[in-house]
């Protein structure tokens, strides 16, 4: 399998989100929300977006279950090449200055871990209010609902993308762009993968890689649903 990011519909929707946040008028708030189930490609899309912007032109932080306001700020400081400053307010000021000077948007991945922590969420709002640079929160299904309870932050969300399951044309794009050039997966098998994966990119790629490996081992250049039969495509739990 080739290593590259396929510009499927969810990826393009996030690009549009970012363009809208960056090109918004001064009366529109600038917080974005990207949400969807695990394995749908959110983190990958974020990395791609940041590459489009130029890695030095954005701040990316991933949140952890154990995060505190201090560990969260320390990670942003590290991204900016600095040690934590105390009292914490100094670190916030430092981040605000850098975001303003360099017009840096802030991307916060795995935001589910911090959405329940008022202090961190209020700090994010402070960073936004002091810079008005785009802030994009990324998380799973629950995040939109949980943010809706934080009115002050929720009111500042002007752009959002809910990741959709891959459709057949997306699965087609993954196969066409990632598989070894010698190998074709027939449409009926692609549709089978789509159905069985529930449109989850991680599973789709696992399945394609398995098929690719088997095709190479068996010297086949096209694999159909008939060839594949009911061999497993990825680990499934059946009740
Ligand atoms: N557009 C894409 N092009 C190529 N590979 C992709 C794409 N989207 C996702 N992938 C691959 O699918 C896998 C899952 O993607 P990713 O980790 O981005 O999902 P996620 O939504 O962030 O999941 P989680 O909620 O578990 O963090 C990764 O291995 C990634 O390389
Ligand atoms: Mg992720």
Residue 3 placed within a domain: no
Q: What is the pLDDT of residues 224-236, one digit of tens each?
A: 999 999 898 888 7
Q: What is the pLDDT of residues 71-116, one digit of tens each?
A: 999 999 999 999 999 999 999 999 999 999 999 999 999 999 999 9
Helix axes 118-131, 89-102, angle to 10 degrees: 40
Q: Is 41 in the pocket of ligand 1 (CB under 6 A)?
A: yes
Give residues with Cβ within 8 angstroms of 87, minimum separation 6: none
Looking at ligand 1, which atom is closest to the CA of residue 204?
Answer: 12
Does residue 87 sit in the same domain as residue 122? yes
Q: What share of the chain in percent tops pLDDT 90?
A: 90
**Ligand 1 pocket check: which of 12, 202, 208 to mutate, most ligand atoms within 8 Å of Cβ?**
202
Residue nearest to atom 9 of ligand 1 (CA): 41
Q: What is the pLDDT of residues 32-59, one digit of tens each?
A: 999 999 999 999 999 999 999 998 899 9
What is the domain-level CATH number for residue 189?
1.10.8
Instruction: For residues 175 and 162, give the distance between their C-alpha atoms in angstroms, rounded to a whole number.
Output: 23
Does residue 141 sit in the same domain as residue 197? no
Burial of 94 (0-12, 13-18, 19+ CB in 10 A): middle
**Ligand 1 pocket check: which of 44, 45, 167 to mutate, most ligand atoms within 8 Å of Cβ?**
44
Last residue of a domain, one of 109, 144, 162: 162
Domain that holds residue 174: 168-228
Does residue 34 sit in the same domain as residue 82? yes
Does residue 111 sit in the same domain as residue 150? yes
Question: 68 φ, ψ to 5°?
Answer: -125, 170
Question: Which residue from 55, 48, 53 is spatially nearest to 21, judged by alpha carbons?
Answer: 53
Residue 144 placed within a domain: yes
What is the domain-level CATH number for residue 49?
3.40.50.300
Last residue of a domain, one of 162, 181, 203: 162
CB count, 10 Å around CB of 45?
26
Does residue 104 sit in the same domain as residue 187? no
Does residue 68 sit in the same domain as residue 181? no
């Amino acid at each position: 399998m080739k290593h590259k990011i396929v510009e499927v519909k969810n990826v393009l929707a996030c690009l549009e989100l970012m363009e809208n946040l960056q090109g918004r008028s001064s009366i529109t708030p600038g917080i974005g929300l990207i949400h969807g189930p695990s394995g749908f490609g959110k983190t990958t899309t974020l990395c791609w977006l940041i590459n489009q912007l130029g890695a030095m032109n954005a701040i990316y932080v991933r949140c952890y279950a154990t995060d505190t306001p201090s560990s969260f700020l320390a990670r942003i400081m590290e991204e900016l090449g600095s040690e934590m400053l105390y009292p914490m307010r100094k670190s916030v000021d430092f981040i605000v200055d850098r975001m303003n000077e360099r017009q840096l948007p802030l991307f916060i991945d795995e935001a589910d871990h911090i959405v329940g922590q008022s202090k961190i969420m209020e700090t994010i709002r402070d960073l936004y209010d002091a810079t008005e640079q785009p802030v994009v929160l990324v998380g799973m299904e629950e995040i939109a609902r949980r943010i809706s309870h934080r009115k002050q932050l929720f009111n500042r969300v002007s752009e959002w993308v809910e990741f959709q399951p891959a459709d057949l044309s997306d699965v087609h794009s993954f196969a066409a762009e990632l598989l070894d050039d010698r190998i074709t997966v027939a449409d009926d098998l692609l549709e089978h993968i789509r159905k069985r994966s529930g449109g989850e990119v991680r599973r789709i790629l696992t399945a394609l890689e398995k098929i690719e490996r088997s095709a190479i081992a068996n010297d086949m250049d096209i694999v159909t649903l008939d060839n594949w039969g009911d061999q497993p495509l990825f680990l499934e739990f059946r009740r």
